[in-house]
Structure 1
Amino acid sequence: MTEQEARRMRRARFEGLAHLVVEPLHRYLLRRTGADMVDDVLSETMLVLWRRLGDVPGLGEGSEPDPGDVLPWCYGVARGCLANARRADGRRLRLVERLIRTQEEAPAGAADHSELHAALADLGALDREVVRLWAWEGLAPRQIAEATGLTSNAVSIRLHRAKARLAARLGRKDAGRPGHKRDEGRSSQ
């Protein structure tokens, strides 16, 4: 038997199985979960059935499978896929709740960066990405160039101009350099 014939036979076996079990599995899942989740879980179940086609009891090579032999095993697969989906939803829900709590529980002394975020929003998308890669990710211009597809020179120019626009927007153009005293580095004599 050639590889192509084996694939064709495998596909025919799966299609026969799918024809037999899709409707009962759909009804099974509808009775156990919300309609918004049924199609995803059914798709995952069918994927598992495809992967484990050789493990399905009662699924012979040539004959039409008997529903009494294959359905119980397929229900077990659907049950496992449904449990996985519910666990994933639970994890997502807990993550959302945790994120909401951390936003609500921001420390009273936490810095308000809304002005900075507004200034960043005024930049173009590419300039904003260059500034973020430089400031937040700590990348050098040549590394930013690699990440964005720009040249190192273009990144340096964009970064210089974006920082100047941010400083002007934040009203820090005339202010001294933050963290430095005016007479720092000078002799007192």
Structure 2
Amino acid sequence: MTEQETRRNRQARFEGLAHVVARPLHQYLLRRTNPDVVEDVLSETMLVLWRRIDDVPGLNAGSTPDPDDVLPWCYGVARGCLSNARRADGRRLRLVERLIRVQQRSATVAADHSDLHAALDGLGELDRELVRLWAWEGLAPSQIAEVTGLTPNAVSIRLHRAKKKLAVRLELTRKKAERSGHKADEGRSSQ
């Protein structure tokens, strides 16, 4: 048998199988999950059936498969695909919940550090990025150099100067707050 004949035979076997099992699998999935998910899971099931066409019990070349022979195995495949989809949904939901929590924490942190953000905004764009890469991402000057395209020496010098400017700006903010009669950390939580 040539490769082309093998492909045609495989395609004919799959089409015969799909003709017999598509509707029952669709009904099976409709009874077990949200209708919005059924088409995706059915597509994934059919893809697995295509890939494993040689493993389907009771599927003979050239004849229409008997549903009683092929359906139980195909239901097993659909069940596995549905389980995979449910696990993926669970992971997606946990990720969304985690992102929401992080976003809420970020909003709280941003409110708690408004003076820091204001001081950072007073730096130039490159200096601000150097400080963020150093402080927030925990990168060393040689790593920051790789990110920014600067030399490690240039990063060290610019970072040193940027941190000094930042310290001066934060000190001015603190003194201004004290002169107005408020302590710099008044009204903020100690977290």
1:1-189 equivalences under 5 Å are: 1-106=1-106, 110=110
Number of aligned positions between the proteins: 168
Question: Which whole-Å deviations, capped at 9, do the CAs of 1:110-155 have from their partners, x for residues lacking one?
Answer: 47899xxxxxxxxxxxxxxxxxxxxx99xxxxxxxxxxxxxxxxxx
**Larger helix percent:** 2
Instruction: Quote how far apart the aligned CAs of 1:47 are.
Output: 0.4
> Structure 1: which 5+ runs fail to align?
115-135, 138-189
C-alpha separation in 2, matches of 1:51 and 1:70: 15
Instruction: Quote how far apart the aligned CAs of 1:105 are.
Output: 2.8
The 1:107/1:39 distance shift into structure 2, 3 A limit, reads closer
Secondary structure of the structure 1 residue equivalent to 2:57 = coil
Secondary structure of the structure 2 residue equivalent to 1:58 = coil
TM-score (norm 1): 0.60
The 1:108/1:65 distance shift into structure 2, 3 A limit, reads closer
C-alpha separation in 2, matches of 1:19 and 1:109: 58
Instruction: Quote how far apart the aligned CAs of 1:63 are.
Output: 1.5
TM-score (norm 2): 0.59
Secondary structure of the structure 2 residue equivalent to 1:105 = helix
Letter aligned with residue 70 of structure 1: V
Identity of aligned residues (%): 78
Secondary structure of the structure 1 residue equivalent to 2:58 = coil
C-alpha separation in 2, matches of 1:109 and 1:72: 55
Question: Which whole-Å deviations, capped at 9, do the CAs of 1:9-50 have from their partners, x for residues lacking one?
Answer: 100000000000000000000000001100000000000000
Instruction: Quote how far apart the aligned CAs of 1:64 are.
Output: 1.2
Higher RCO structure (Cα 8 Å, ≥6 apart): 2
C-alpha separation in 2, matches of 1:113 and 1:59: 67
C-alpha separation in 2, matches of 1:14 and 1:80: 19
C-alpha separation in 1, matches of 2:55 and 2:109: 60
Letter aligned with residue 54 of structure 1: D
> Structure 2: which 5+ runs fail to align?
115-135, 138-191
| RMSD (CA atoms) | 4.6
Deviates more, 1:92-101 or 1:42-51: 92-101
